[in-house]
Amino acid sequence: MAKIVAVCVSPKKGQRKKNIHLGRLVREHGLENDAHASNWHRQVSLLAMESIHKMRLAGLDVGPGDFAENLTTEGIELFTLPLGTKLKIGHEAVGQITQIGKECHTRCAIFHQAGDCVMPREGIFIRVLNGGMVRVGDEIEVLNQE
């Protein structure tokens, strides 16, 4: 079963995010009170604990939110899902994958410490098709793979 292990926000871009445990996904906007929320294709970012664990094996003391992801997940290999896949997140919210990975223009602190970072390869981005509350422990369900 795939689930949410952290719901994270930051007041400014370029910062690590803090786990607030409960948040609201806003249709065509993103996670309420997060600096990255806007009407664009990368409204919400997701990264799996399994990916974060890879960086821990490289010797880093990192956890949920440290890669500036909004939703930290467990039990789903996010980066293998095709673009266009719809995900049900919690009881009401639905997101659609718009991007897998991202170009890292400025090397983050994690890259400088470890010489690598998983977010550019294994993080995904969604736009919010249907809003709703999301919380730690909520299930994530793959609705379709387009």
Q: Is 116 left (phi over 0), alpha (psi -120 to 50) or beta?
A: beta
Single pTM value for the model:
0.90
Q: How do residues 129-146 score in pLDDT, each as one tens digit? A: 999 999 999 999 999 865
Task: Dig out the tokens for 42 from the structure.
Answer: 């990368």
Rounded Cα distance, 120 and 102, in Å: 5
- 51 membership: H or E segment, kind and range: helix 49-57
Range(s) of the domain holding residue 127: 2-144
Q: How do residues 49-81 score in pLDDT, each as one tens digit? A: 999 998 888 787 889 998 889 999 999 999 999
pLDDT band at residue 85 under the 50/70/90 scheme: very high
Q: How do residues 32-51 score in pLDDT, each as one tens digit? A: 999 999 999 999 999 999 99
Q: How many domains does the chain have?
A: 1
Query: Can you give the CATH number for the domain in which 33 is found?
Result: 2.40.33.20
